């Protein structure tokens, strides 16, 4: 049976790994990103997407609709993070994180409803332990992820009649290239590896459709990273 998936933020990091894994599992994947995704696969469609821009989101879905009107799996993954104290963080940085991590998912959900398969579509949101737990020096990220989680909790109730599954994945810190961009040079031994994250993601994707996992928090055995 043909299965279609949307993955936002597919150009690198978790989004890239998720896209490749879904392709390996037989999905047709529509990857959305601003910079393009380095995947070469007959079942991968690389579609330009800026989740903070309403017109870009509308055009993304118009492109997807040319191929299919049914999406079995929507992976809400795109996000940004900046490390800085409240005092030192600029208003522009704070607003950018809210725009990408909270407003962006709002726009993606706003125009997604026509693609829902009642009783079947599964929405997996890659949140973070930072959507549940306050970390120092990431106030913008914390605020945006708490906001995204609240958005999803409301949406679950609005779309209850569709009888679809929602899963929030709330991992602790994951060792990805994102940390290099933020200038982190300290040890990453207390972080999850990408393979460890993917083991949980693939378990959720592969579980029988009668089972739902509303929210899963998972960390390196050392606990929260601070």
Residue 121 in domain? yes
- 125 in a domain, yes or no? yes
- Domain assignment of residue 64, yes or no: yes
113 — pLDDT class (breaks 50, 70, 90): very high
CATH number for the domain harbouring residue 107: 3.40.50.720
Domain that holds residue 193: 3-218
Looking at the chain, the whole-number percentage of residues with pLDDT higher than 70 is 93
Number of domains observed in the structure of the chain: 1
Give the pLDDT mean for 178-203. Answer: 79
pLDDT in tens, 79-90: 999 988 999 999
Q: Tell me the average pLDDT of the chain.
A: 93
Is the pLDDT confidence value at 225 over 70? no
Residue 169: beta bridge partners? Answer: 126, 216
Is residue 36, in this structure, part of any structural domain at all?
A: yes
Asked if residue 175 belongs to a domain, the reply is: yes
Q: Is residue 226 part of a domain?
A: no
Q: What are the tokens at 216?
A: 């899963």
Task: Write the CB contacts of 37 (distance below 8 Å, at least 6 apart in sequence).
Answer: 10, 11, 15, 16, 19, 31, 44, 46
Top pLDDT among 3 and 1 is at: 3
Task: Tell me the mean pLDDT in the region 119-140.
Answer: 94
**Residue 33 burial (CB count, 10 A):** 23
pLDDT band at 31 (very low <50, low <70, confident <90, very high): very high
pLDDT at residue 221, as a whole number: 81
Joined tokens for residue 128: 């973070």
Q: What does 13-41 look like in DSSP terms, one character per residue?
A: HHHHHHHHHHHHTTEEEEEEESS------
| pLDDT, position 188 | 72
> Is residue 213 in some structural domain?
yes
Task: Report the predicted TM-score, pTM, of the whole model to 2 decimal places.
Answer: 0.93
| Average pLDDT of the residues in 28-45 | 96
Residue 142 lies in a domain: yes
In this prediction, residue 179 has a pLDDT band, given cuts at 50, 70 and 90, of low
């Amino acid at each position: 049976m043909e299965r279609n998936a949307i993955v936002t933020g597919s150009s690198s990091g978790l989004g890239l790994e998720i896209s490749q894994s879904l392709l390996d599992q037989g999905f047709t994947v529509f990857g959305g990103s601003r910079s393009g995704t380095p995947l070469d696969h007959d079942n991968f469609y690389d579609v330009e997407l800026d989740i903070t821009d309403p017109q870009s989101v509308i055009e993304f879905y118009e492109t997807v609709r040319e191929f299919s009107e049914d999406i079995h799996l929507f992976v809400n993954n795109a996000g940004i993070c900046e490390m800085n104290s409240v005092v030192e963080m600029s208003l522009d940085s704070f607003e950018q994180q809210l725009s990408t991590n909270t407003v962006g998912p709002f726009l993606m959900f706003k125009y997604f409803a026509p693609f829902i398969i009642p009783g079947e579509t599964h929405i997996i949101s890659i949140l973070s332990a930072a959507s549940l737990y306050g970390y120092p020096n990431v106030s913008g990220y914390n605020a945006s992820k708490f906001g995204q989680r609240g958005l999803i909790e409301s949406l679950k109730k609005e779309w209850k009649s569709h009888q679809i599954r929602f899963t929030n994945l709330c991992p602790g810190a994951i060792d990805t290239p994102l940390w290099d961009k933020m200038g982190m040079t300290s040890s990453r031994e207390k972080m999850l590896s990408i393979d460890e994250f993917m083991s949980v993601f693939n378990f959720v994707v592969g579980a029988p459709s009668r089972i739902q996992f509303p929210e899963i928090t998972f960390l390196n055995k050392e606990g929260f990273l601070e």
